[in-house]
Amino acid sequence: MNQPSVPDSGQWFSNLLKSQQAVLGPFTADQAFAPWMQAATAFTSWQQETIKQMTSFWPMSMAAAIPGFPPAVNVAADRRFSAEAWTKNPGFDMLSKSYLVQTQSLQQALDAAPMDERTKAQWGFLLRQVVDALSPANCLLTNPEALKTAMDTGGRSLIEGARLFMEDFAKGRVSMTDEKAFEVGKNVALSPGSVVFENEVFQLIQYAPSTDEVKRTPLLIVPPCINKFYILDLQPENSLVAYAVSQGHTVFLVSWRNIDASLGHLTWDDYQQQGVMTALDVAREISGSERVNTLGFCIGGSLLACTLAVMAAKGQADKVASLTLLTTLLDFSDTGELGLMITPQSMALREASIGKGGVLHGRELAHMFAALRANDLIWPYVVNGYLQGKAPPPFDLLYWNADDSNLPGPMACFFMRQGYLENKIRVPGGTVQSGVPVDLRQITTPAFIYASREDHIVPWKTAYATTQLLGGPRTFVLGASGHIAGVINPPAKKKRSYWELAPADADAAAPSPAAEAQPALDPDPEHWFKQAQQYPGSWWTAWSEWLGQQGGDETVPARKTLGSKKYKPIEPAPGRYVKAKAT
């Protein structure tokens, strides 16, 4: 019996839909089935085009094996198949091209499916996970590079790959670097200083000055609690901490506790009161300054901004001189693919399990973030490690990335529900935090807001929305690159670039002297970008100039000893908390 042709299969699907029309009536059919009939027609067209390309692969792949013969099939280049072994053999060449064309066809079919954008994005994310996993590069028998390596080494690469797999299996994750090559406090997190305060939530580090004079107003850094703080102090040459110290700031930094079961009861309010508020008061007492400049990174920025709104509601806004937010979300209207993982159903399950007490394990968070970029953070290490027996080289950034941190369940659930799921943090009075309704408009201190243009975790246009939520003068700067590489961009490297409004676009109606040079910020991020000027190099210099204007120009002699009579040094930086491993 003959198989149905491609048009026949499409006609069969169309006839099936039409047969339902007689049962359901014309109105229902028009409303419910018309989009699907359009999708069926489009799918048939893609199916025909896919088969057409597939049937041309074999002769073209055979011809491509002839030296100097140009490829005749237009398939987008993919680094997974960039090695010569993939194009030299006609079979592997056809396999890789067939995979790429079918991947493209599946995505096109999904794009035309009659469903809402969020549902389509969720299916798109799941489709990409499956398609990425099924790449022929990820299987020994369909990866010519791995097969050649196995033959060249007499099978030793397979033995070594099996050993690496068993090590990773025991750890529960894929290794991306040689983790034995690094130790916190030995060759990462090296800036000198002392822990001057600690409680069950955090340790406070005061860093030693590197200048004879320091600014009277200190700087408090609040890093994300889902990662270790030393991404901001990885090496002396790329340390934001060391840079701030070199600019004459007395730097205090919050080192969050790596949560275990005994601390699974901690809430978002606890992180505000026992965390940020306490750190501010200790920094004020040690420095002798009434006000403190503050900086928050990622979720640390969200926590810091919410805390400042709470303090403003309680009449304590005068404790803070300025606010810097790095890749921070306060408006969660577009959170990229990360937000697709947080649904009402998944949130209800999570709250039932850890919402009243428990631990959100760092390993789970790491898997979630890796899934966002599986072709960068998972599969290359599977191929190189398990299939080719190549242990990953030492890389400090990837060591930090693998150094997981746990979160208390109640705290994490509050942030995910009020932020990612319901987007209530941005709404005046939409949430009650530390006993008061939170209104971000009450934050009237000058704010420096930074976003990275290629950030897949905090989309820059969503981060830009913060400029419309705060009540004080605001400066927005957009840096090149992604969530981490964009932030960690020291001036000495002379890399990348950043965008900000030129001084000529200053807001003449700025409400305070400190804001007179602040740019006018359009509500539309695209319009802002068209007005902005691109500058070469690091955004750190622009931030340093801005920060120098906050808290006054007064300087005082740098102290030779850290801490104070009330808060004596406990141990050298980076302290115990950051060294604790997630369990």
514 lies in some domain: no
Do 283 and 256 touch, CB atoms closer than 8 A? Answer: no
Do 318 and 292 touch, CB atoms closer than 8 A? Answer: no
Instruction: Among 71, 92, 114, identify where a domain stops.
Output: 114
> What CATH number is attached to the domain comprising 206?
3.40.50.1820
Please check whether residues 108 and 205 belong to one and the same domain.
Answer: no
Please check whether residues 209 and 325 belong to one and the same domain.
Answer: yes
The pLDDT of residue 46 is 56
Distance CA 249, CA 240 (A): 12
Please check whether residues 419 and 316 belong to one and the same domain.
Answer: yes
Phi, psi of 367, rounded to the nearest 5 degrees? -60, -40
How many CB atoms sit inside 10 A of residue 126's CB? 12
Distance CA 260, CA 358 (A): 9
Residues 6+ apart with CB under 8 A from 471: 440, 441, 442, 443, 444
Distance CA 149, CA 133 (A): 21
Please check whether residues 549 and 455 belong to one and the same domain.
Answer: yes
Distance CA 257, CA 362 (A): 12
Instruction: Kindly report, residue by residue over 252-264, the tens digit of the pLDDT.
Output: 999 999 999 999 9
Say if residue 101's pLDDT is above 90: no
The pLDDT of residue 70 is 52
More confident residue, 311 or 45: 311
The pLDDT of residue 90 is 85
**Helix, strand or coil for residue 87?**
helix
Say if residue 347's pLDDT is above 90: yes
**Band of pLDDT at residue 145, cut at 50, 70 and 90:** very high
The pLDDT of residue 427 is 98
125 lies in some domain: no
**Band of pLDDT at residue 7, cut at 50, 70 and 90:** very low
Name residue 400's amino acid. Answer: W
Q: Which two tokens stand for residue 169?
A: 């299996």
Instruction: Among 69, 95, 114, identify where a domain stops.
Output: 114
**What residues does 428 pair with on adjacent strands?**
none
Helices (H), 134-193: 144-152, 156-171
187 lies in some domain: no
Give CA 381 to chain center in angstroms.
20
Q: Smallest Cα–Cα separation from 428: which of 441, 439, 414?
A: 439
Instruction: Kindly report, residue by residue over 517-575, the tens digit of the pLDDT.
Output: 455 689 999 999 999 999 999 999 999 999 998 877 789 999 989 999 999 999 999 99
Instruction: Kindly report, residue by residue over 465-506, the tens digit of the pLDDT.
Output: 999 999 999 999 999 999 999 999 999 989 999 999 987 554
Q: Which two tokens stand for residue 454?
A: 């290629």
The secondary element (H helix, E strand) that includes residue 541 is helix 540-548
Please check whether residues 198 and 108 belong to one and the same domain.
Answer: no
Q: Which two tokens stand for residue 249?
A: 């700031």
The pLDDT of residue 53 is 56
The pLDDT of residue 289 is 95
DSSP character for 568? Answer: -
Say if residue 2's pLDDT is above 70: no
Distance CA 468, CA 472 (A): 10
Q: Smallest Cα–Cα separation from 69: which of 98, 93, 47, 34?
A: 93
The pLDDT of residue 460 is 98
Instruction: Kindly report, residue by residue over 419-458, the tens digit of the pLDDT.
Output: 999 999 999 999 999 999 999 999 999 999 999 999 999 9
Name residue 174's amino acid. Answer: V
How many CB atoms sit inside 10 A of residue 169's CB? 10
Please check whether residues 92 and 238 belong to one and the same domain.
Answer: no
Q: How many domains does the chain have?
A: 2
Distance CA 150, CA 526 (A): 51
**Helix, strand or coil for residue 241?**
helix
Please check whether residues 268 and 416 belong to one and the same domain.
Answer: yes
The pLDDT of residue 13 is 41
Do 258 and 202 touch, CB atoms closer than 8 A? Answer: no
474 lies in some domain: yes
Q: How many CA atoms lie within 13 A of 480 on its CB side?
A: 13
Distance CA 496, CA 450 (A): 15
Q: Which two tokens stand for residue 190?
A: 């090296």
The pLDDT of residue 58 is 53
**Band of pLDDT at residue 88, cut at 50, 70 and 90:** confident
The pLDDT of residue 67 is 57
**DSSP-derived pairing of the beta strands 292-297 and 320-326:** parallel
**What residues does 408 pair with on adjacent strands?**
359
The pLDDT of residue 14 is 47
**DSSP-derived pairing of the beta strands 213-215 and 219-222:** unpaired
Q: What is the mean pLDDT of the chain?
A: 87
Phi, psi of 285, rounded to the nearest 5 degrees? -65, -45
Percent of the chain with pLDDT over 90: 73
Please check whether residues 207 and 94 belong to one and the same domain.
Answer: no
Summary count for the chain: helices (H), strands (E): 20, 17
Which of 180-184, 390-394, 500-504 has the lowest average pLDDT? 500-504
SS3 per-residue string spanning 115-149: CCHHHHHHHHHHHHHHHHHCCHHHCHHHCHHHHHH
User: Which domain does 75 fall in, by range?
Assistant: 8-114
Distance CA 268, CA 508 (A): 38
Q: Smallest Cα–Cα separation from 514: which of 470, 463, 548, 466?
A: 548
**Band of pLDDT at residue 102, cut at 50, 70 and 90:** confident
Do 419 and 332 touch, CB atoms closer than 8 A? Answer: yes
Please check whether residues 70 and 210 belong to one and the same domain.
Answer: no
pTM of the model: 0.86
**Band of pLDDT at residue 516, cut at 50, 70 and 90:** very low
Name the packing angle between helices 90-111 and 117-133 (round to 10°): 170
Say if residue 106's pLDDT is above 90: no
**Helix, strand or coil for residue 390?**
coil
**Band of pLDDT at residue 266, cut at 50, 70 and 90:** very high
479 lies in some domain: yes
363 lies in some domain: no
The pLDDT of residue 519 is 55
Please check whether residues 108 and 200 belong to one and the same domain.
Answer: no
Active site residue 298: yes
**Band of pLDDT at residue 583, cut at 50, 70 and 90:** confident
Q: Which of 225, 298, 306, 413 is catalytic?
A: 298
69 lies in some domain: yes
Percent of the chain with pLDDT over 70: 84
242 lies in some domain: yes
Say if residue 4's pLDDT is above 60: no
Please check whether residues 559 and 423 belong to one and the same domain.
Answer: yes
Instruction: Among 91, 114, 137, identify where a domain stops.
Output: 114
